[in-house]
Amino acid sequence: MFGGDQNPFVYESERHGNPLFTMIQAIVIALVINVTIYFLFVIPSQVDGQSMYSTLENQELLFANKIPTWLGTTDFGKQINMDYKRGDIIIFEYNNMLLVKRIIGIEGDKVKVENGEVFVNGKQLTETYLRAGIKSYLPSAEYSNLVEGQESVVPKDSFFVMGDNRPASKDSRYSDVGFIKRDKMKGIVFLRFWPLDKFGIINGAQYN
């Protein structure tokens, strides 16, 4: 009746496509893309506490760029300037927690804290992101990673980090935190996505 072995119903289905199958296929592709982006390029994080106030506030939700973790030390990463830099707000692992701080010194830098002021390679930092009157005092000697007024060199593959709310931040000034090894770094914060009224790009500081 239809002639030969041709099945018109199969032909029409193949020619016009199955809408349900097409929709499922699109959803699967979107999920694969999002999962790939999540695991390779982006890490979500939540601010816990006041150590980065007022740059970041408690319970805010952030996205961090993981690319420097994969490419930062490669020739390609260096060509596209995709490595951790002074002034970047970063996420790193400490005692099975993810903490958010700012990079003050990178490998080879000479860091000094004196009278509550921060010096890197002999120059005092102008930290415009700090609230007025905030000082960067060291903890007592038994808990301190630095000696008041003396330069300390940031070790190879390590970083010196501090929170923007210095009186309320436990960071590289403390001996039990110390210099952060590169393999503990998780990414550079680039976006605040919650609360919605503060949604936007977050840029690192520029130091002279």
Residue type, 23: M
Query: Nearest-5° angle of CA 140, CA 84, CA 68?
Result: 135
Separation between Cα atoms, residue 86 and residue 103, nearest integer Å: 5
Question: What phi, psi does 101 have (nearest 5°)?
Answer: -145, -175
Cβ neighbours, 10 Å, residue 162: 25
Active site residues: 51, 101
Are 67 and 88 within 8 A, CB to CB? no
Query: In 41-134, which ranges are continuous DSSP H helix?
Result: 67-71, 75-79
Any bridge partners for residue 114, and if so which? Answer: 117
